[in-house]
Structure 1
Amino acid sequence: VLLLRPRDALPTAAEPARALAPPPGLDAWRDRVRRDPRHFLSLCAHLDCTPDIWALHDWGGWLTPFTRSGGRRFNTAFFLCCLREPPPVYPDLTEVVSCQWSSPSETTESFISKKMWLAPPQFYEIRRLGNFASLSDLHKFCLDGALEEMERWLPITFLTADAMLQLLPGDELYLEDSDFVENVMSTDKKTGEIMKEGKTFHRMVLHSRHVYSVHVTVQSKHKHVYPKTYVVSQSHL
């Protein structure tokens, strides 16, 4: 997706952005940019456009929690962009093999029905987007300056007898202790027992690969929105 605007066009953040149609010779340009990212500037000059950075909004950041020694970990930033219409998408069949436009509720259902898989941060962010009834509401939220400070989290892994919890800042069990950068918490108790013992929650419960629950009773410190509590039905457990 090329998120560009004509070079002489002024930023109009008050309106949703619009993606440009791909240039002729897209595959060749993509190969050149992949070999040397500086060629992206050449592409912009060729199209007489500039990257529409004004259409992007900081949304959140996640550091992969420790789960096991040697596991791959990432520092991931999420950006949000509201578009007037679905843009043309041409997967490169390497990093992106397909594309689908879905609402938060549709994406959640596809995940639970095993039509797609979402990593825990993706599932959390999808549930977060479910707070907004329309694209215009979401866009207005971004423009109102609510995203004045992006939150970046390092979840703590907490293993119970029957599930894995990922604790987030604000949860009563979350410990800002460097020991948990390379270790996990654990207990012999079942998840149900742990949940009954607490009141202040900001956590995900990973029951299985396609069954997650989200429990939130805290408020954001930075005027952002957290997802509403989402608990899967017993039939999926």
Structure 2
Amino acid sequence: MTSLAKCPTHNLWKKSAAILLIGPGKKGCPAVLTVKRSKKAKFMPTNLVFPGGLCEASDFSLSWLDTFPQLRSFAVNPHATFPDIFINDAPEQAQLQELSPHVGFRITAIRELVEETGLMMDEKSGKALPVPDNIRKQIHEEPKRFCEILKSLNMSPDIFSLHNWSTWLTPLGLKHSSRRYDTQFYVAVVDNIEHLNPTSDNAEVSTVQFWDIGEILKAALAGSVLVAPVQMYELSRLLSFKTIDAIREYAQSRDRLGTERIFTVKINCSDGAIWVLPGDSLYPEDPDYMGTDDEIFIPKTVEECMQLYPKHHRMVSPLSSPLINISLNLEQVTPTFATPRSQL
């Protein structure tokens, strides 16, 4: 088994960033922007996910500070907790040539939002604005020109509107892909989505839409849409909030604390599987991050494991809402359990 403490984990997996863009949906209930991965997508095909993708070296270029000096004022609580994907282990001189990872990851999330949905979080206007398709295509084909293109559009990346939400490492054992990502998730809240018209890129993404959070969970649990497990977990957390103002207030307040990496471990039972998260009674003391060990098997039924191992921070296959009866670190809100019959 390879211990996480014994390896340079920030270099093992591809770094990426994603954004949970939230606005008022039906009757003012929170709605979140989702994209459906195309059938040809190499990762999570046909699944509903949040806009996001791989980091580019240009997202971390100091040219951003030269072009948009206001980014220099961005600050992070020095006492916050963050996983080691935020560590820059390059030589000191090389580090001077790169942005703070906290700025770079946010730029990645904003750029991917533009590429996949055609929406731009613009600091100058304080709004999410549409980007013309021809410009969007240029950004997708030449992401290193993102900074230059924004300047020509008189736009500025609103990294200040993106709040730390969570960090996820792709688990082992996924059916559709062996690709692994260390992904930083951010939350951004907009006051109005009626004027927004997000569109797909017709490449990696087939459809784009705002979903009321309760509706997407109900559809996922009923099997009418595919929702990736990470998204299922985060949607269940968002279900705890009744208004976008409550989400905004919480995200702004908790932002100062940072995030911890979440790595899900699959536990095979005699009649199914349980995906456990940190704090669960079944969570390994030293998880197998690298996949060097055999999968864990417990010769008990899922229901027996529910009774024998009482601390729950888990999801059960086939897909369910998260089951949790413990408190989370860093003031993270716990997921709300839902079933297809719930009044979501």
The counterpart of 1:74, out of the listed 181, 194, 212, is: 181
Give secondary structure in 2 for the equivalent of 1:110.
helix
* Counterpart residue identity of residue 228, structure 1: T
Q: 1:156 to 1:232 in 2, by over 3 A?
A: farther
- Is the 8 Å Cα contact of residues 276 and 282 (structure 2) preserved in structure 1? yes
- Is the 8 Å Cα contact of residues 279 and 326 (structure 2) preserved in structure 1? yes
- Is the 8 Å Cα contact of residues 270 and 298 (structure 2) preserved in structure 1? yes
The answer on 1:186 being equivalent to 2:292 is no
| Greater relative CO, 1 or 2 (CA 8 Å, sep 6+) | 2
- CA deviation after TM superposition for structure 1 residue 231, in Å: 5.5
- Is the 8 Å Cα contact of residues 215 and 231 (structure 1) preserved in structure 2? no
* Counterpart residue identity of residue 4, structure 1: D
Counterpart CA distance in 2 for 1:196 and 1:232 is 23
- CA deviation after TM superposition for structure 1 residue 37, in Å: 1.3
* Counterpart residue identity of residue 189, structure 2: C
- CA deviation after TM superposition for structure 1 residue 130, in Å: 0.5
Counterpart CA distance in 2 for 1:148 and 1:81 is 17
Counterpart CA distance in 2 for 1:68 and 1:92 is 25
- State the partner residue of 1:46: 152
Counterpart CA distance in 2 for 1:118 and 1:110 is 9
User: What is the aligned length?
Assistant: 218
Counterpart CA distance in 2 for 1:144 and 1:180 is 31
Percent of aligned positions with the same letter in both sequences? 26
TM-score by length of 1: 0.83
Counterpart CA distance in 2 for 1:65 and 1:3 is 30
* Counterpart residue identity of residue 174, structure 1: Y
Query: Which sits farther off after the overlay, 166-175 or 72-81?
Result: 72-81
* Counterpart residue identity of residue 134, structure 1: T
Q: Per-residue displacement from partner, 1:196-230 (whole Å, max 9, x unpaired)?
A: 112211111112xxx31421111112011120344
* Counterpart residue identity of residue 219, structure 2: S
Gaps of 5+ in 1: 10-16
Counterpart CA distance in 2 for 1:180 and 1:51 is 34
Counterpart CA distance in 2 for 1:179 and 1:112 is 29
- Is the 8 Å Cα contact of residues 164 and 255 (structure 2) preserved in structure 1? no
Give secondary structure in 2 for the equivalent of 1:174.
coil
- CA deviation after TM superposition for structure 1 residue 141, in Å: 0.6
Counterpart CA distance in 2 for 1:124 and 1:54 is 25
- Is the 8 Å Cα contact of residues 163 and 255 (structure 2) preserved in structure 1? no
The answer on 1:118 being equivalent to 2:118 is no
Give secondary structure in 2 for the equivalent of 1:102.
strand
The answer on 1:59 being equivalent to 2:165 is yes
- CA deviation after TM superposition for structure 1 residue 158, in Å: 0.3
Which one has a larger percent helix, Structure 1 or Structure 2?
A: 2
Q: Per-residue displacement from partner, 1:160-218 (whole Å, max 9, x unpaired)?
A: 112221111111111131446414211221100110112211111112xxx31421111
Gaps of 5+ in 2: 1-118
Q: 1:142 to 1:213 in 2, by over 3 A?
A: closer
- CA deviation after TM superposition for structure 1 residue 115, in Å: 2.7
The counterpart of 1:201, out of the listed 312, 321, 326, is: 312
TM-score by length of 2: 0.59
The counterpart of 2:134, out of the listed 1, 16, 28, is: 28
Give secondary structure in 2 for the equivalent of 1:62.
strand
The counterpart of 1:131, out of the listed 240, 249, 273, is: 240
Which one has a larger percent strand, Structure 1 or Structure 2?
A: 2
Counterpart CA distance in 2 for 1:68 and 1:54 is 34
